[in-house]
Amino acid sequence: MSENAYKPRPPAPALPATVHDLLAQRRTNLRTRTLNDDVDEIHLALWNDIQYRQFFLPIWREETIEGSFIADDMRAALLIRDYAAKNNKPIAATAKLAAIQRSLGVICRRYGISRKERQNMVSGDTVPQGGSEHYEGDE
């Protein structure tokens, strides 16, 4: 047979027929689900709830609902844990409120809505921390 002769290529292996078959041949391990995953999903699910969102509005202590950022964060964490218990999110449903509160801080930073980030914004633009030397407002 000459070098230029046509050589048929072998057929491609068959694709998995079902999702179960596809998962069976997965090459990488699934990442373990974390509290942050639950809190992120719940945060998005609760975002349109006015009662939940009110705890994120204040950026100054005087504006807080419960008198402190920690208290407001704990109330939001409690709403998250209650939602988790009712909606089959076992990691968040059994987590301590302080752990949910810390996770919520991570999630807020993911979306650029942490209190510190919002305090450092003027007309939608982030300004350097410490502000301008010409700033005469409260510190």
Range of the domain at 67: 52-122
pLDDT tens digits, residue range 74-103?
999 999 999 999 999 999 999 999 999 999
pLDDT at residue 5 in the model: 76
User: Quick check: is 44 in a domain?
Assistant: no
Number of domains comprising the chain: 1
User: Quick check: is 84 in a domain?
Assistant: yes
User: Quick check: is 137 in a domain?
Assistant: no
Question: Nearest CA to 137 among 125, 126, 122?
Answer: 122
User: Quick check: is 61 in a domain?
Assistant: yes
CA Rg value for the chain: 25
Does pLDDT of 64 surpass 90? yes
What are the start-end ranges of the H helices in the chain?
A: 19-24, 35-46, 50-53, 69-86, 90-93, 97-110, 115-119
Q: Are the CB atoms for 64 and 72 separated by under 8 Å?
A: yes
Does pLDDT of 127 surpass 70? no
pLDDT at residue 29 in the model: 66
3-state SS class at 71: helix
* pTM of the full structure: 0.70
User: Quick check: is 107 in a domain?
Assistant: yes
Q: Which of 17-21, 55-59, 130-134 has the highest mean pLDDT?
A: 55-59
Q: What does the alpha-carbon distance between residue 24 and residue 19 come to, in Å, rounded to a whole number?
A: 8
Residue 113: C-alpha distances to residues 29, 58, 83, 104, 108 (Å): 32, 11, 21, 11, 5
User: Quick check: is 68 in a domain?
Assistant: yes
pLDDT tens digits, residue range 11-48?
777 777 888 887 787 776 667 889 999 999 999 999 99
